[in-house]
């Protein structure tokens, strides 16, 4: 094989496997729910800014239902890292715990919105951001 052909072959193999990894990564049901969560979070935050707490409460309900769906999924990273057996079980349990903690925070947010407790709403927004950081740091593949 000449040098040019070799380089072309290596390039095409690495590019196609990269494209495959990326395709599989953002085509999961979980990434679909996450995209919905992102959109709903943005809408909820504009409802709060415009003082429409009732609309925000509805959005928090929707967010909870997306997290409940996300809870039944397995992060792509676990299969990409070929986790199996007890390792997979432990990681799955940790993932479920972070989702459950996030749902608890969302329920607190719902109460704070209903009682018009603005400082508490702000604090809980910060906590949700923290859960996002934690969840992505631990369970989101780099793709
Ligand atoms: C409100 C907070 C959150 C927002 C706005 C958010 C948003 C997103 C977005 C935009 C993506 C990329 C979706 C795509 O590829 O198109 C994503 C992926 C992901 N998020 Fe979140 N996320 C949040 C919280 C969480 C939490 C708490 C966890 C874990 C418990 C989590 C776990 C993941 C995982 C694992 C992926 C990769 C998808 C996969 O493995 O299939 N996220 N998220």
CA angle 68–47–34, rounded 5-degree value:
30
Averages of pLDDT over each 10 residues, the chain, 143 residues: 53 42 75 98 98 98 98 97 97 98 98 98 98 98 89
Residue 84 CA from chain centroid, whole number: 22
Selection from 73, 87, 78 nearest residue 139 by Cα: 78
Check residue 18 and give its pLDDT. 43
Ligand 1 geometric centre to CA of 72 (Å): 14
Q: How far is the CA of 84 from the centre of ligand 1 (A)?
A: 22
54 exposure class (CB count in 10 Å sphere: 0-12, 13-18, 19+): exposed
Residues with CB under 6 A from ligand 1: 26, 28, 30-31, 34-35, 37-38, 41, 75-77, 95, 98-99, 102, 128, 131-132, 135-136, 139-141
Which protein residue's CA is at the shortest distance from atom 37 of ligand 1? Answer: 140
Break the chain into its structural domains and give their ranges.
29-139
pLDDT at 100: 98
CB-based contacts of 4-7 (< 8 A; 24+ apart in sequence): none
Which residues contact residue 83 at a Cβ distance below 8 angstroms, ignoring those fewer than 6 apart? 91
Q: What is the pLDDT of residue 25?
A: 78
3-state secondary structure of 75: coil
Structure tokens at 118: 């603005």
Measured in Å, residue 31 CA sits from the centre of ligand 1 at 6
Q: How far is the CA of 30 from the centre of ligand 1 (A)?
A: 8
Condensed to tens digits (0 to 9), the pLDDT of residues 61-87 reads 999 999 999 999 999 999 999 999 999
């Amino acid at each position: 094989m000449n040098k040019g052909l070799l380089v072309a072959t290596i390039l095409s193999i690495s590019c196609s496997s990269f494209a495959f990894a990326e395709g599989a990564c953002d085509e999961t049901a979980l990434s679909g729910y996450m995209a919905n969560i992102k959109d709903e979070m943005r809408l909820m935050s504009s409802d709060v800014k415009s003082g429409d707490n009732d609309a925000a409460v509805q959005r928090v309900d929707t967010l909870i239902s997306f997290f409940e769906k996300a809870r039944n999924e397995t992060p792509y990273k676990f299969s990409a890292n070929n986790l199996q057996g007890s390792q997979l079980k432990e990681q799955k349990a940790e993932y479920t715990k972070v989702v459950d903690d996030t749902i608890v925070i969302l329920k607190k947010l719902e109460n704070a919105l209903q009682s018009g407790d603005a400082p508490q709403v702000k604090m809980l927004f910060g906590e949700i951001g923290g859960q996002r950081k934690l969840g992505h740091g631990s369970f989101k593949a780099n793709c």
